[in-house]
Amino acid sequence: MEDLPPAAQRALKEAEQRRRAEQTNPQPESEVGGRGGKDPARYGDWEIDGRAIDF
């Protein structure tokens, strides 16, 4: 790591800190009462009570 430029060394240290923070933080709670199935925002279609609503 000594042969890397200072900016690269800082980036590696920051990345290591982020990895450690992800390991110590618990996963977010899952949604309660969600619609289930595929994500409608990702697939561009909402279906509610038999109606499909496109964006």
Give the model confidence (pLDDT) of 11-50 as tens digits: 999 999 999 988 887 777 777 776 666 676 666 666 666 6
Residue 46 lies in a domain: no
- Greatest Cα pair distance, the chain, in angstroms, is 62
Contacts of 54 (CB under 8 A, 6+ apart): 44, 45, 46
Kindly state whether residue 10 falls inside one of the protein's structural domains. yes
Task: Tell me: pLDDT of 53 over 70.
Answer: no
The range of the structural domain enclosing residue 4 comes to: 1-27
How far is 14 from 8, CA to CA, in rounded Å? 10
**Total domains in the fold of the chain:** 1
Is residue 45, in this structure, part of any structural domain at all? no
Give 55 or 45, the one with higher predicted confidence: 45
